[in-house]
Chain A
Amino acid sequence: MIKANSLIITIIISLVIGLICTCLILLAWFNRSAEIVHKINRQLGVNLSSGINIVLQDTAAFSTAQTDSIDLFDTGNDSIIITKECWGLFNIASVVAKKATWAREKNFLYGGSLPSFMDACIYMADHKRPLSLVGSVILQGNAYLSKAGIKPSYIDQRGFSGSRLLQGDIKPSNDELPPFCTVRFDYLQQLLNKCTHPAVEDRAFFEIPDSLDRSFGDSAAFISYNGLVDLSGITLSGHITILSDTCIEVDASSNLNNVLLVAPIIRIKSGFSGCLQLIASRSIQIEKDCTLSYPSSLVLIKELSPLNPCTINIDSASKLCGIIFTYAFPDDVAKTMVTLKKGAYIEGLVYVSGFLEMNATVHGTVATDYFLYRSNAMMYENYLADVEISRIKLFPFFVNSPLFTGFTVNRIIQWVK
């Protein structure tokens, strides 16, 4: 008996073909979805770079956080949100690109391109005195000096033993150090004022956690304490500011990255390694064997009081990659004093409104009112002995602080979380 069940056979075959077709349709659908996601991601990436470019071209000074929402091409489809704020001597920006329900975010630390005075290894304000060199002094790069110029000299029957006084050109300096942005300076002063007069919401009623990693896309964790703050055995990273009205001590056992410390006195204990920005009004002590990696900075702004000594000390075998900035008001008789011990190494900018006792190696630029050299019980003004200051050896990707005027464009220092 021959069964002629054509319907059943047709249904079975159609099920198999249907299954294959469904698979093909699903494949095409997934492929199309992936394509759409890829396209949106690429567009978000392009919008993100466009937003970053908008941030980098804006060199206007600001002291408080700013948020802008921009429709990039006036089509209503490509929007970005830019948030930027001061972060110590540098700026921090957060760019968020949005398209429908999709979003991509990038946070970065940025600063300014190098101002004109940083084409030199030395900028010594013109106080009508020459710069005297003793022993093995290496000065590579141009130098902004007073009209009295540069000359070899003697201390304790020891003369200048280098081959050339200056491996570069001499340019005339002004009677004041290169100017800086007052808006930015106000921000630094406000931070210092917060040490002694913190806002109620900034007061910490809890212990600093053992570990805290705060994204720069989030609001800053502002923690203010009364009395000595001892940071030991902790890990802090990101958008965190710690203030004290007296002193902050950082132990070698702590791990700090991109954190801002603000206090009248700050002490970094021997052996510490990390990336920090320190803002103080009385003194900063960096003990032996410390490494402060780029972009670190030491800021000392002297209160208008001739009684308080105001110093930065960097001990031997310590390294700083970044910026040292000190400022004393013109009316203040007692200026700031920076001591860089022998064996210390600085890469970047040293800007001292006052006296610089310079025994370290500096790859970058040194700007100061006066150099000091100490030999036995004697102090010599505007003497340099057995030091190396080389502008040529400064790494080419060094980005300066927007504090200093005269930069033309912003540059990215570091991508951060």
Chain B
Amino acid sequence: MGKIMITSVKAATLVETIVALVIILVLFGIATTVIIQTTEKGSSVKILKAKAILDDYVSVTHNQDELFDQEVPLDDFFLKRQVSDYKENIRLKRICYYIYDSNKKLIETRNEIFLFE
């Protein structure tokens, strides 16, 4: 006489499956956001580079004998400088610096008051 083996398989209920699916969806959403944010950090390397270029440009400006408006393309960026007298004082110059990326999107601006001797 052969024996009949009876094995009981516990299946997940419908509720369990739906809850698991919801949790997976929420996690997927969070993970996607984090990944997008982290990916965006890639562009901050470009921003850092732009700031470094702007720093150099400001230093060069401070050592110039003459100050005037200027627009200069530099690497993948575009620099713009605007010079005006500060509160009608000809020795104090208000200098506005702008740096744009290759798509003409403004990355950073800087304002300073410089003593021009």
Contacts and interface: CB of A to CB of B under 8 A. Distances in A.
7 contacts: A1-B10, A4-B12, A6-B17, A10-B20, A17-B31, A25-B37, A28-B34
A54 B113 contact: yes
Q: Interface SS of chain A: helix, strand, loop or mixed?
A: helix
Given A14-B24, A21-B30, A28-B37, A7 B94 contact: no
Given A46-B112, A50-B113, A53-B113, A7 B16 contact: yes
A73 B37 contact: no
Main secondary structure on chain B at its contact with chain A? mixed
Interface in A179-217: none
Interface in A75-111: 78
B16 A6 contact: yes
Given A24-B34, A31-B41, 5 more contacts: A2-B10, A4-B10, A17-B31, A53-B115, A56-B115
Interface in A22-46: 24-25, 28, 31, 35, 46
Given A7-B20, A21-B31, A53 B9 contact: no
Contacts of B9: 1-2, 4
B111 interface: yes
A54 B24 CA distance: 60
A-B pairs, top 5 by smallest CB distance, nearest first, are A50-B113, A10-B20, A53-B115, A7-B16, A6-B12
Contact of A409 (B23, B27, B112, B115): B115
B92 interface: yes
A158 interface: no
A7 B12 contact: yes
Contacts of B27: 14, 17-18, 21
B8 A50 contact: no
A253 interface: no
Contacts of A4: 9-12
Interface residues of A, number: 29
Given A18-B27, A21-B34, A46-B112, A7 B91 contact: no
B70 interface: no
A71 B7 CA distance: 83
A5 B12 CA distance: 6
A252 to B, nearest CB: 41
Interface string B27-56: 100110010011001001000000000000
Q: By CB atoms of chain B within 10 A, which of A18, A49, A57, A73 has the most?
A: A57
Given A4-B11, A409-B117, A78 B111 contact: yes
Contacts of B1: none
Interface in B70-117: 89, 91-92, 94, 110-115, 117
B60 interface: no
B4 interface: no
Nearest to A80: B113
- A4, A10, A11, A35: most-surrounded residue (chain B CB, <10 A): A10
Contacts of A18: 27, 30
A72 interface: yes
Contacts of B112: 46, 49-50
Nearest to A2: B9
A28 B9 CA distance: 45
Contacts of A72: 111, 113
A210 B34 CA distance: 59
Contacts of B37: 24-25, 28
B12 A1 contact: no
Given A1-B10, A4-B12, A53 B24 contact: no
A73 B111 contact: yes
B89 A73 contact: no
Contact of B94 (A1, A14, A17, A73): A73
Nearest to A9: B20
A10 B11 CA distance: 15
B87 to A, nearest CB: 9
A283 to B, nearest CB: 40
Given A7-B19, A50-B112, A57-B92, A25 B34 contact: yes
A281 to B, nearest CB: 37
A11 B23 contact: yes
B58 to A, nearest CB: 9
Given A4-B12, A24-B34, A28-B38, A53 B114 contact: yes
A410 to B, nearest CB: 9
Nearest to B111: A73
Contacts of B7: 1
B49 to A, nearest CB: 15
Interface string A314-330: 00000000000000000
Contact of A1 (B8, B30, B91): B8
A2 B94 CA distance: 77
A53 B87 CA distance: 13
A46 B23 CA distance: 49
